[in-house]
Amino acid sequence: MRRLLLATALSLLPALAQAFGLEQLAAQLGKPAVVRGEFVQQKFLRALEKPLTSRGEFVLAKGHGLLWLLKTPLQQDYRIDEQGIARREAGGWQAIPQRSASAQQNRLFLAVLGGDSSGLQRDFELALQGDAQNWQLTLTPRALLLKQIFNSIRIDGGALVQRIVLDETQGDRTELLLQNSVAADALSDREQHDFTD
Amino acid sequence: MTSPIERRAPWAFLAFLLMLLALGAWQWRNGAPLSTDILELVPGSSRDALQKSAEQRMQEPLNRELLVLVGYPERERAIAAAARLADAWRAGALFEKVQTGVQADLPALREQLLQGRLALLGATTRERLIDDPKAFIEQRVQQLFDPFAGFGLIANQQDWLGLAAAIAQQRPASANVQLDLGSGAFFAEADGQQWALLRARTRADAFDMNAPLEAARLVAEARAQVTADGGRLVAASGLLYAAAAQQQATREITWVGGGATVGALLLLLLAFRRVRVLLAFLPVVAALLAGCVACVALFGHINVLTLMLGSSLIGVASDYPLHYLSKSWGAATWRSWDAVRATLPGLSLSLATNLIGYLALACTPFPALTQVAVFSVAGLLAAYLCSICLLPALLNGLQLRPRRSLLSLARRLLAARAALLRRTGSWPLSLLVLAFCGIGLMRLEVHNDLRQWIGGSPQLLAEAKAVAKITGVQPTSQFFLVRGDDQTQLLERQATLAARLDRLVADGSLAGYQALPQLLATAEQQQRLRQALPALAQHWQPLIDLGIPRSALDDELRQLQALPVQDINTALAGPYGEPWRSLWLGASGNQVAALVSLRGLSDATLLAAQADGLEGVCLVDRLGELNRLFAATQVSASELKLLSCLLILGLLVFPFGLKGALRVVLLPLLAALCSLASLGWLGQPLTLFSLFGLLLVTAIGVDYAILMRERVGGSGASLLGVLLSALTTWLSFGLLALSSTPAVSNFGLAVGLGLFFASLFAPWAGHAHTDTSHAAEAGE
């Protein structure tokens, strides 16, 4: 699941500036200070007829991080920033203990959030198709460890990211739809509070 | 005219010398049989074979592993540089394994996690599943939606209940070291630098002296490359300490040996003014050769510490020829064989007392001193034989023209002493000496620590600290050894201990530990978990609501129940067990045993208490144990010292009578006491080594006293002989005092001080009634 967010974040950032198309895409996605929207996450597991579906809202803020607010089937808020991942508990944000490999996944994600494209380009082949209104970016893992987990990550979008598909080697597939995304200039007070708390 | 003995003895000794040379050459056929392992010089630990193998297990990585950190501001550069270095080292012959990251064998890891879902599950998750199946299922549902639940190592349909995922999560995070997901490389972040890790292991058969030096050379080379490229490199390894010790020993042996040699040669030239007299240095060469050969023959190799302490033998070995050379001042015409014949009784007595002194060293339970004693005894015997068999023949026909001014100096000194004694009487001087001793002794501090044996290079220590800080791994020398009648009992005992250690970790007095219960549940716990599984079926509904077919859940439950109970060997065999593998000692007799290793300990005394009341658990604290042993040995060393004095006294009663023998023995004891007091005045601690140094002083001091007592060639010539030999001996031990290994420098200081007092007090060994004749002699 983290990989999915990772893909979201990296596709929204100017980090991918590399070739002509990627540069343009990065500039386009990097423009808004804040992006708000709704998400639908569908996990297609080999053994299940229907996907595991969850919904919620997200707020991505340049320089702050990402709020991931899961609404159904259960309610849970997450926050990702430079400090790591936190989960909202009764008593406030609770940092999730970072353990070796999963902590590293998070680190890669944060490196991307921070605009560190070098790690990404080292670990993935990037391929961009389409135009500014309708593009498709495919990430194919290059590094040995990642290859054993993903087949590929595909990101579709226009002005903003619309769909992310993760193809896992184990046969599972996760689709993330980002709907009704709206770019904005500033965070609300509550969001500001969530990020700084 | 030469007697038959005088004709044959030189040839016999020459043959003996050639034999020694041949033996020595054969011993060195595969390179220098030198060892730097300090631990082989300390008494073996308890007779317990299991504890010994545990210690070896903990020690081995220190002797064979090398940890290198390559730091750059950018992680990619650090990882790339470490990878290049690893490739270069893999191509070399020194290392059997060079590791910069995990070998990504995920299929094997997946397989082990699935097979070990009951056995490897951590206590927290296991307890929750057994005690509160409803909460367990609810949490699993939450996890399935959690975007941050972690690694997609195992497909959900293979692990609906998430047991394998939970195990993958509970794998111990190794402090600051992380895994770069892209490259699979280990790295750590500190001070804005990105550090890539490289771990190398030398070949097991690398028992040769070159392994540490080679490792140090490779590290230096790599450091130069990385630094030139704008990066940094720090390294930590027992190998580097060994290399530094080796280099330092070589340097110091060169200085001490070279200094003592040059000094002794100069002294011979200055005093006797004949080039051929330099042959008198031959006994020293014979002594060093015999010492080395004897040590290698007895112990298979010679430790560098032995060699450093042994090189001071130069000073003692050169005494024998000096004794009869100095007789040239007393006699009108000096003839080598006559001089030897005249001094032979004195020389033999000296040898006997010296041997007693060194043999007393050999009786201590310290292999270090046993080696030094063997080296010295063999060396002294060779020097003695060389001095009386070969050297007189070589010096035959030599007309010595000793410097007369030295003799008159010696006589003036004796006269001054006599005059002083006449003016003040003996009592005020004695009181002065007693006061000096009393106050000095009160200031004396006893201090013992194994670390004195290691001349810590500040740079190596700083690097080791840097490595510990960056990686967050601070291994401690203490560990727990846990035994049980079977694996279940062993795991239970370890778990009880682990619970106590958890409290120490919680309050910060311990950074962490590693124990088998973190890996594996006992057979009984696995059984209990299996029995609790059917209860889960009553709480399937939340999972079924997600769309997971009931049949899939039931299938998984059946699979789990069919999983066999795993034992320690199985759990350790897979890739998941790798971090714990070195802890398992296996079966020994009718017991099984395993270690609990510790990290970042702040208070050592707390540890011993953790094993209290736990059967089969013991703390192994080699360093602490040794330091306590040092203190205990000081007592036995003092007893040995007194015993050696009694032996020497018994020996000397024959030539000197009881009164004379007492005088000859008590003077060196007084000298030893004075040097003890001097240590106190100088603020230097009394260590086991300084005590052994004093043991030696007694023996050498007796030597001087005998010379003064025998007075062959007159008191003046005898005093001159004493002063000359004291000077050469003092030169070699005094140079030892400059060593950067505290143990060696302590030894040198104690002997140096003792020799000074021994030669100062030597004139009192003469007959009291001849004091007046000395004065007459001086005035002639």
Given a cut of 80, whether residue A110 has pLDDT beyond it is no
Q: How confident is the model at residue B771 (pLDDT cuts 50, 70, 90)?
A: very low
Residue B750 lies in a domain: yes
Contacts of B157 in chain A (CB under 8 A): 45-48, 172
- Please indicate, yes or no, whether residues B256 and B304 belong to a single structural domain of this protein: yes
pLDDT value of position B386: 92
Contacts of B552 in chain A (CB under 8 A): 47
- Please indicate, yes or no, whether residues B149 and B275 belong to a single structural domain of this protein: no
Residue B225 lies in a domain: no
- Please indicate, yes or no, whether residues B480 and B606 belong to a single structural domain of this protein: yes
Given a cut of 80, whether residue B39 has pLDDT beyond it is no
Identify the weakest region by mean pLDDT among A95-109, B89-103, B351-365, B558-572. Answer: A95-109
pLDDT value of position B602: 67
φ and ψ of B510, to 5 deg = -140, 135
Q: Who contacts B42 (Cβ-Cβ below 8 Å, separation ≥6)? A: B366, B367, B368, B450, B453, B626, B629
Q: Which pLDDT tens digit goes with each residue over B384-438?
A: 999 988 888 888 877 777 778 888 888 888 888 888 888 877 777 788 888 888 8
Given a cut of 80, whether residue A148 has pLDDT beyond it is no
Residue B275 lies in a domain: yes
pLDDT value of position B16: 92
Mean pLDDT of chain B: 82
What token pair was written down for B34?
Answer: 């030198």
Identify the weakest region by mean pLDDT among B57-66, B203-212, B277-286. Answer: B203-212
**Contact of B446 with B631, CB cutoff 8 Å:** yes
Residue of B nearest to A105 (CA): B181
- Please indicate, yes or no, whether residues B436 and B499 belong to a single structural domain of this protein: no
What token pair was written down for B560?
Answer: 């789990």
Length of chain B in terms of residues written: 780
- Please indicate, yes or no, whether residues B560 and B664 belong to a single structural domain of this protein: no
Higher pLDDT, B768 or B649: B649
To the nearest whole angstrom, how far is the Cα of B636 from the nearest Cα of chain A?
Answer: 53
pLDDT value of position B50: 78
Stretch B109-114: mean pLDDT: 88
Q: Which pLDDT tens digit goes with each residue over A57-79?
A: 988 887 787 888 989 888 888 88
Higher pLDDT, B362 or B436: B436
To the nearest whole angstrom, how far is the Cα of A101 from the nearest Cα of chain B?
Answer: 6
Of the candidates A78, A15, A28, A44, the one whose C-alpha atom is nearest the C-alpha of residue A165 is A44
What token pair was written down for B179?
Answer: 């895994």
What token pair was written down for B348?
Answer: 């033999």
Identify the weakest region by mean pLDDT among A111-120, B119-128, B552-561, B648-657. Answer: A111-120
**Contact of B223 with B111, CB cutoff 8 Å:** no
Higher pLDDT, B260 or B494: B494
Rank A148-162, B381-395, B716-730 by mean pLDDT and report only the highest.
Answer: B381-395
Domain endpoint, select from B568, B592, B620: B620
- Please indicate, yes or no, whether residues B496 and B420 belong to a single structural domain of this protein: no
∠ CA(B239), CA(B237), CA(B469), 5° rounding?
Answer: 165
- Please indicate, yes or no, whether residues B298 and B373 belong to a single structural domain of this protein: yes
- Please indicate, yes or no, whether residues B583 and B485 belong to a single structural domain of this protein: yes
- CA distance linking residue B132 with residue B137, whole number of Å: 9
Helix, coil or strand: residue B148: coil
Domain endpoint, select from B620, B651, B676: B620
- Please indicate, yes or no, whether residues B446 and B349 belong to a single structural domain of this protein: yes
Cα B227 to the chain's mean position, in Å?
32
Domain ranges, residue B378: 4-30+242-453+625-779
Identify the weakest region by mean pLDDT among A116-125, B437-446, B483-492. Answer: A116-125
With an 8 Å Cβ cutoff, are B181 and A122 in contact? no
Higher pLDDT, A16 or A170: A170
Q: Which pLDDT tens digit goes with each residue over B623-667?
A: 777 777 777 777 777 787 788 888 888 888 888 888 888 888 888
Domain endpoint, select from B620, B639, B670: B620
Stretch B471-476: mean pLDDT: 72
| Residue B47 burial (CB count, 10 A) | 7
Given a cut of 80, whether residue B214 has pLDDT beyond it is yes
pLDDT value of position B563: 92
When CB atoms are compared, the residue of A1, A49, A100 closest to B179 is A100
pLDDT value of position B89: 92
Residue B351 lies in a domain: yes
Residue B143 lies in a domain: yes
pLDDT value of position B775: 38
Q: Who contacts B494 (Cβ-Cβ below 8 Å, separation ≥6)? A: B482, B515, B516, B517, B594, B596
Rank A69-73, A81-85, B83-87, B423-427 by mean pLDDT and report only the highest.
Answer: B83-87
Q: Which pLDDT tens digit goes with each residue over B146-177?
A: 766 654 677 777 888 988 888 877 766 555 77
Higher pLDDT, B40 or B86: B86
Contacts of A98 in chain B (CB under 8 A): 173
pLDDT value of position B450: 63
With an 8 Å Cβ cutoff, are B146 and A76 in contact? yes
Q: What percent of chain B is predicted at pLDDT more than 90? A: 17
When CB atoms are compared, the residue of A74, A98, A106 closest to B145 is A74
Given a cut of 50, whether residue A111 has pLDDT beyond it is no
Q: How confident is the model at residue B528 (pLDDT cuts 50, 70, 90)?
A: very high
Given a cut of 60, whether residue B606 has pLDDT beyond it is yes
Residue B606 lies in a domain: yes
Residue B35 lies in a domain: no
To the nearest whole angstrom, how far is the Cα of B171 from the nearest Cα of chain A?
Answer: 8
Contacts of residues A111-116 at CB distance under 8 Å and 24 or more positions apart, as own/partner, are A112/A6, A112/A9, A112/A10, A112/A13, A112/A15, A113/A9, A113/A13, A113/A65, A113/A66, A113/A80, A113/A81, A113/A82, A114/A82, A115/A13, A115/A14, A115/A15, A116/A15
Number of domains in chain B: 2
pLDDT value of position B171: 64
With an 8 Å Cβ cutoff, are B181 and A108 in contact? yes
- Inter-chain contacts counted by CB atoms under 8 A, chains A and B: 134
Q: Which pLDDT tens digit goes with each residue over B692-702?
A: 788 778 878 88
∠ CA(A20), CA(A26), CA(A31), 5° rounding?
Answer: 135
Spell out which chain B residues touch chain A, with contact meaning CB-CB distance below 8 angstroms.
74-76, 102, 104, 106, 141-142, 144-157, 168-171, 173-174, 178-184, 545-549, 552
Of the candidates B520, B467, B446, the one whose C-alpha atom is nearest the C-alpha of residue B690 is B446
- Interface probe, candidates B138, B156, B167, B559, chain A, greatest A C-beta count within 10 A: B156
With an 8 Å Cβ cutoff, are B155 and A50 in contact? no
pLDDT value of position A122: 66
Rank A105-109, B32-36, B114-118, B718-722 by mean pLDDT and report only the highest.
Answer: B114-118
Which residue in this structure is represented by tokens 């996907």?
A: A51
Higher pLDDT, A114 or A45: A45
Stretch B338-367: mean pLDDT: 82
Stretch B180-204: mean pLDDT: 81
- Please indicate, yes or no, whether residues B283 and B409 belong to a single structural domain of this protein: yes
When CB atoms are compared, the residue of B147, B174, B183 closest to A5 is B147
With an 8 Å Cβ cutoff, are B148 and A1 in contact? yes
Contacts of A99 in chain B (CB under 8 A): 150, 169-171, 173
Contacts of A5 in chain B (CB under 8 A): 147-148
Which residue in this structure is represented by tokens 């025998």?
A: B710
What token pair was written down for B664?
Answer: 């000859």
- Please indicate, yes or no, whether residues B579 and B727 belong to a single structural domain of this protein: no
What pairs with residue A35 in β-bridges? A60, A183
Which residue in this structure is represented by tokens 């007091």?
A: B677
With an 8 Å Cβ cutoff, are A99 and B183 in contact? no
- Please indicate, yes or no, whether residues B283 and B300 belong to a single structural domain of this protein: yes
Q: Domains for chain A: give ranges and CATH numbers.
A: 2-196 (2.50.20.10)
Q: In the 8-state DSSP scheme, what is residue B574?
A: S
Q: Which pLDDT tens digit goes with each residue over B531-571?
A: 999 999 999 998 888 888 888 899 999 999 999 999 999 99
Of the candidates A62, A109, A63, the one whose C-alpha atom is nearest the C-alpha of residue A85 is A109
Given a cut of 80, whether residue A108 has pLDDT beyond it is no
Q: How confident is the model at residue B768 (pLDDT cuts 50, 70, 90)?
A: low
Q: Which pLDDT tens digit goes with each residue over B480-521?
A: 999 999 999 999 999 999 999 989 888 888 888 889 998 999
When CB atoms are compared, the residue of B104, B144, B547 closest to A148 is B104
Residue B222 lies in a domain: no
pTM score > 0.90 for this model? no
